[in-house]
A and B are shown apart, each in its own frame.
Chain A
Amino acid sequence: KAGVTQTPRYLIKTRGQQVTLSCSPISGHRSVSWYQQTPGQGLQFLFEYFSETQRNKGNFPGRFSGRQFSNSRSEMNVSTLELGDSALYLCASSSGSEQYFGPGTRLTVT
């Protein structure tokens, strides 16, 4: 089975812009979760989608949003980028308790 894939792998954006990241889960997995990883805050849960519905949400501002499509692929969007949004964004898919992570998208905001 192919693993979780994330695109793009690296991204540089300017403050005030918006960005969309994509995640393709392992075939058959219906749950997709997103995490933000920074040196200062560590790994923080953003949200989880299951069957196109947001099932769980972390403590992030409304600038962070996501969605899931009928094929379980998911996107997350960050609007009005701030310097502090620079991070590694990780997506994980699961069919049970164990989560399988993608390689991440490294976002740099300048």
Chain B
Amino acid sequence: SQQGEEDPQALSIQEGENATMNCSYKTSINNLQWYRQNSGRGLVHLILIRSNEREKHSGRLRVTLDTSKKSSSLLITASRAADTASYFCASTDSWGKLQFGAGTQVVVTP
């Protein structure tokens, strides 16, 4: 079974719009990471946020973490067609195990 749930399961937006996806997890974590996967290929690491951080930015990405609600969100601003992919959150527990969410499929149309 997977650690968390992601919402929405799928998202379709137009280029230039922002995309927001949410992730919830179940156990205490050391950090939470977001990954991108293009069409059944390997995962690409996007950003890591530690349990003592609340917000982090990287380029067009903004991640928030609320440990009291055991949830995180990923915002992609000014989306591009190349952002079309599946996005996964992954929480790292105290044993160092990475538990992935179910993923959000994002489609960005020109």
Contact = CB atoms under 8 A, between A and B. Distances in A.
Interface of A: 4, 33, 35, 41-45, 48, 55-56, 58, 88, 90, 92, 97-104, 106
12 contacts: A33-B98, A43-B100, A45-B100, A48-B96, A88-B40, A97-B30, A97-B31, A97-B48, A101-B43, A102-B42, A103-B42, A104-B41
A45 B97 CA distance: 8
Given A42-B100, A90-B42, A98-B33, 13 more contacts: A35-B100, A42-B2, A42-B102, A45-B97, A45-B98, A48-B96, A56-B95, A97-B30, A97-B31, A101-B35, A101-B44, A104-B41, A104-B42
B48 A101 contact: no
Interface residues of B, number: 24
Nearest to A6: B42
Which DSSP category, helix, strand, loop or mixed, fits chain A's interface?
strand
Nearest to A47: B97
Main DSSP-derived SS at the B contact region: strand
A46 to B, nearest CB: 11
A100 B48 CA distance: 13
B92 interface: yes
B45 interface: yes
Contacts of B95: 56
B73 interface: no
B88 interface: yes
Nearest to A35: B100
B48 A98 contact: yes
